[in-house]
Amino acid sequence: MYRGLPVSKSTIPCVGKFSTNVSLGRLKQGNGLTLSENFFGRCDEQRFGKVTGRIGLRKKSKQFQFMLIKTKGIVFRTKKYSETSVITDIFTEEKGLRSYIINGVRSQKSKVAAGLLQIMSPVELIAYHREDKEIERVKEIKAFHVYHSLPFDVRKSAVGMFMIEIARKTIHSQEEHPELFQFLLESFLFLDETTQPFANVHLHFMVNLTGYLGFMPGGHFGQESSIFDMQEGVFTDIQPPHPHWLSQAFGEKLDLLLLLPLERCHEVPFTREERQAFLKNMLYYYRLHIEHFPQINSHEILEEVLV
């Protein structure tokens, strides 16, 4: 039995059986078990076998909610964390964008294939989740779709790399957003599976992603609305008093990319030079509507590989 033992907030020797509202300053009895913030459970209801108790933090109980979640996700980025581990950013269907430590993935005995965590990879994972954690841990992870052409076709890979860079630099929400997740997933799956021309896929992606980011173009192209005001985000019939607007030709193409489904985006006519100019205008449109929109680099590769 321990009496008068000072205890820190982060590590508390727990008891085999202990009374409710044990003081932080003293323990009535204990058996050397340790309760820490890394234990998966709730601090107000810890269970060690048949043992249940509550630890009171003076007058208020400090509670940490842990849960196991099963969700699908798309790998946004993976970086080295230690000799054998990585941190990977995954946009999940259930919890939005999350960062996970995956241990042992870089060791020879790893059960997780290195290719599984390549960017754009669709995965299914079971993860430990707690709202106040910036980096969480994965219990299990596996592929739920294996790409057939995307990693091996240089031109498709360039398009996909651009799309994932746009997504990574614009999507930061940690909230559930199944519609956005489905939009991203369908875009990458289509790019992988299509046998049609795909030189406009990234343009269709950029134009329609604006709807999820909050600045989708308003109105439609027509005789009385043939100019797109990029600053206001609307089609208009009057040339704006500022330089941030699209010509009639590009306004019409923008409207077509908004109206046509992904499967038909190749029907929008672009020359190589027009496609490059339109892309630069779309990047500028993003910059007008997203504060501190970072530099995008992968579009330079697109200019080299897309005809």
**The model's pTM:** 0.77
The per-residue pLDDT for 112 is: 77
Tens of each residue's pLDDT in the chain, 307 residues: 434 444 333 333 333 333 333 333 333 334 333 333 333 334 333 333 333 334 344 444 455 577 899 999 999 999 988 888 889 999 999 999 999 998 877 776 777 776 788 999 999 999 988 877 889 998 999 999 999 999 999 999 999 999 999 999 999 988 889 999 999 999 999 999 999 999 999 999 999 999 999 999 999 999 889 999 999 999 999 999 999 999 999 999 999 999 999 999 999 999 999 999 999 999 999 999 999 999 998 877 787 877 6
Residues ≥6 apart with Cβ < 8 Å to 59: none
The per-residue pLDDT for 187 is: 98
Checking 170-174 for CB contacts under 8 A at 24+ apart, the result is 170/209, 170/213, 170/286, 170/290, 170/293, 171/76, 171/91, 171/96, 171/97, 171/213, 172/97, 173/96, 173/97, 174/95, 174/96, 174/97, 174/98
CB 9 within 8 A of CB 58: no
Checking 43-47 for CB contacts under 8 A at 24+ apart, the result is 46/14
Tell me the three state secondary structure of residue 264: helix
The per-residue pLDDT for 64 is: 58
CA dist., res. 178 & res. 210, Å (int): 16
CA dist., res. 85 & res. 69, Å (int): 21
